[in-house]
Structure 1
Amino acid sequence: MTPDVLTGGMAHPLDSMSIAGIGVVSGYGWGREFLWQGLMGGKPAARLYPGYGPGRDEHAWVGRIADGGDPADGTGLFGRAVHVAATEAIADAQARGWRREGRTVGLVHAFTLGDVADWRDFYLRDGGHRRSRDYLRLLPSTPISVVMQEFGFHGPAMNVSAACSSGNVGLLTAAMWRAAGLVDDVLCITTDVSATPDMLEHFVNMGAAVGDEDPFTACRPFQENTLGFTMAEASVALLLTDAVASPYARVLGGAMTNDAFHVVSVDPTHAQIIACAERALTNAGIDAAEVAYFNAHGTGTRQCDAAERDVLTTVFDDRPAVTALKPLVGHCQGASAAIEVAAVALSYERGIAASAPIVAPAHPRLLNGPTPMIDGPTLKLSMGMGGNNAAVILAQV
């Protein structure tokens, strides 16, 4: 290791950062095992919910988080989900031998919209008036402050946001902190609880989301007749460290770019998405031919499919196996990359590559449901509104 000029401490090599703890709250349930069982069962997390549509008298397919958690952790699901995911990830890492004593632990929380439902209630139900302690629970800084206090973490704590690539961006922010010697370990949390009727309406109007078709009819990434994504929710926590002998997976590196083209549409040249994948490979110190899996952003929109097919062909010569999870977990918006990273990490540990079943003519490299893992790294690509692209490369231990 080399001295860090900013802190006077020792900078950590990036390739020592591993995922040692996982916590998940999703449409499948409150806990990572519910996620894994759902992925292995091959059934979507989404179900029909009332209260959607123009008159709010229709049903829509949405992968919402069911009510749960401790009300002491937040008046809405957002704060509760953050706390449960964080607590599960920390306990998981501790069971694998991680100890925080003597280590500087930071927390990066990636999100996009915050507690949408509770902000709506704050204005429309409560008229903008609450007790100060209840108002403070609305602020994105509050859930991470509560976690820092509860577990006695004293490293940096902050929120980051990069639309639907936020989960990958959170991981890369954590990696930069470690490389700079600012922290020993990082708890990376990504949360999105915004699958409300108000939010779904606009994504449907933009031609991206589909609420009136079941997930396997709507979302078919790398398959024919795809329509778009099913909206969903999740909070995912990943404990990143070099202090556990048997972690789930290593984080080799990654990269971020921006299309600088349009607030919604993907640059049709795909130049910056391709550059993001290429720079991630360079940062990780591996060649494209070494990548065994391409974990797609896979929203099932035509723009996303075209872009990712171009990346797969241009960068990887169509060699890696393709895994796509959004037909199962739904599009968890700001948490979409994080829940898919968690699935990849669990796949490495359990020897089974998670992917949705194929329901239509598909790309020849797309996996058809759970498949035995082969050796080799995974490139997890994510794309977000505003032209945000982010790629993270993971590998088995």
Structure 2
Amino acid sequence: MVAAAVVVVRDYDPKNDCRAVEEVERICEVGPGGKLSIFTDLLGDPICRVRNSPVYQMLVAEVVVQKDGGEWREIVGMIRGCIKTVTCGKKMSRNNGKTGLPLPIYAKVAYILGLRVSPFHRRMGIGLKLVMKMEEWFRENGAEYSYMATENDNQASINLFTHKCGYSNFRRPSILVQPVFAHRVGVSSRVTIIKLSPGDAEVLYRRRFSTTEFFPRDIDSILRNNLSLGTFLAVPKGRYTAETWPGAEEFLADPPESWAVLSVWNSMELFKLEVRGASMKLRGFAKTTRVLDRAFPWLHLPSVPEVFRPFGLHFLYGLGGEGPLSVKFITALCGFAHNLAKDRGCGVVATEVSAADPLSLGIPHWKRLSCADDLWCIKRLGEYYSDGSVGDWTKSQAGLSIFVDPREV
């Protein structure tokens, strides 16, 4: 006699659950805009995508069946979540009235990622159970808001969060992906690129970008993480060199008219990606570009790398800048990041920015691999605020920029 199946949501056990979670991850292919499927290989550590966050959790959904006096169990879903403190607004104070610079208002925010349910066990309410259990953990740990990201055409995910879980559409950033070509990308000779120390990078980010929405209060932990390959500053040629760099304090006291900055996160140490679902025609075209590029390397043809087998990702975060040439300086930094990825054997370089951010015009990307209209949904979990009051953040207007935490990619 077989009893009815019961779905149990519990903590992930890294010792016993790893293989089963990887199998669910394998059969739940995801991809930007539904154009191509992307398989995520978590390199044998399913919890690695949140392990670098200050506070994190991973839950699994397990179907339990009593049969013939025994018990049969199967993991059919999982969810990851993390909690951090980020900027949700800004305010003026008496202490900063002389400078005229606003101060950030922080909120304790939770982020949901990696929600997966086996295709063979959908429409059973498993996704809802996982989200509700994760939100329970968020509240227990003092989170004021919960948010998640999904593709704008992933109707099943949108329905789950907005119709059943009470989330609302919040922001629509753009995911921009650029393949790493076989040849190096030229970087403007009018730009000098300086690698900043983690200390200088922290000073620069806190002084210039701490009021940017979703700016992490623990930016120092991100910049000093082993996965952060460095922060790079682009300035006009002749202004500074690596040897004459005066430090962030002096730079900010008298900055050049135009400059730009970005940091690079080594996601290839956490997971691999693989493009699936491409037609034979597209595969043939990609192979042809590589053959031509090898035969005529001096032409610097934009050959398509081998993305139809597992490849690594470098993520660009903390993009910012000032001045009339900041867009061109961002382009130079992206070229530098491309060459860094090439030297490290990486397959693609990606970033995520607000669709309204003017710097997005300077970020090279391939439309076929990118998602111009990603969707972030948010939910208010509590009625309290950790630093000041901005009302209900879920109803606030979007700014020009957002800060995308690389730990949540």
Q: Same fold (TM over 0.5)?
A: no
Counting helix residues as a fraction of each chain, which structure ranks higher?
1
| Bigger Rg, structure 1 or 2 | 2
TM value normalised by structure 1: 0.22
